Amino acid sequence: MSKLIIALDVVNIDAARHLIEQTCDYCELYKIGWPFFMAHGRVGIEKLYNEFNIDILFDVKFYDPPHTVSHTVALMPTYSGIKMFTVHRSMVAAAMMAKSTAQIIATVALTSDNKTGKDIAFRAFSAIRQGAAGVTCSGHAAKFVRDKIDTGKLIICPGFRLDENSNDDHSKAVTLAEASTMPEVNYWVVGRPIINSADPGNMAKIIASEIVQE
C-alpha cells in the first residue's frame, strides 16, 4: 500500500490530468481541496474520476453549524470517487449523523498551528471518540497522536517538504528523511514538491519509495 497522497492543488484541469497520468503508478489517493474545487466544482471531480478511476480525499474541512454540516455531508454519496473527506474536529458528530460511507477525517490541527503535540493528541482522541476514521495533523505531532488513538485509525500528515529549508507557510513541515522514520503515519500528503518538480512522476516515485508502508 502506498503511503503517498498527492495534492491536486492546481486550478487547471489539464494540469491535474497530466499530474495524475505521471504519478498514478505511485499513488492510490489524490487530494482535492479548495483551489481545484472552486475552479471546477463537482463537474471537475467527476471528470477526473471517470477518466482515471482515482480515489479522492476531499479536503474542504467542513465547518459550519452542525445542521448545515450534516445536510452537506449527506450529499457526499452523490459525488463519485470520494473515499475520505475532512471536517473540522468539532464537526465530527454532525458529519456522523449523515451516515456517509466515505471516511470522516478530522482536521485537528493545521501545519501552521503552534499547539503542542500533547494538545493535538487530545484533540485527536476526542475526534476519534466521536466517530472519525482518522485525523490530519503535522508529522511532528503524529507520535503523540498515535499514542492516544487506536492503530486502526488513520493519521494523515500534510506539510511535507524535501528539506528543512523549504518550510514556507508550513511551520511544522517534515522532511523526506524524517518521514521515512515515522511508521505511525498512514499517509503523507504531498503537493508542491511534486507539482513543482521538473519530473513529477520521478519525484513521486522517489518519495513513495522512501515512505513505503512496512
Question: What residue segments make up the domains of the chain, in order of their start?
Answer: 4-210
pLDDT in tens, 101-118: 999 999 998 877 778 899
Q: Does domain 4-210 have CATH number 3.20.20.70?
A: yes
Here the cell at position 99 is 451516515
* Backbone φ and ψ of 93, nearest 5°: -60, -40
Q: pTM, whole model, 2 decimals? A: 0.93
pLDDT in tens, 150-195: 999 999 999 888 865 555 555 567 888 899 899 999 999 999 999 9
Here the cell at position 22 is 505521471
Q: Computed from CA positions of residues 26, 177, 16, 95, in that sequence, does the dihedral angle turn out positive or negative? A: positive
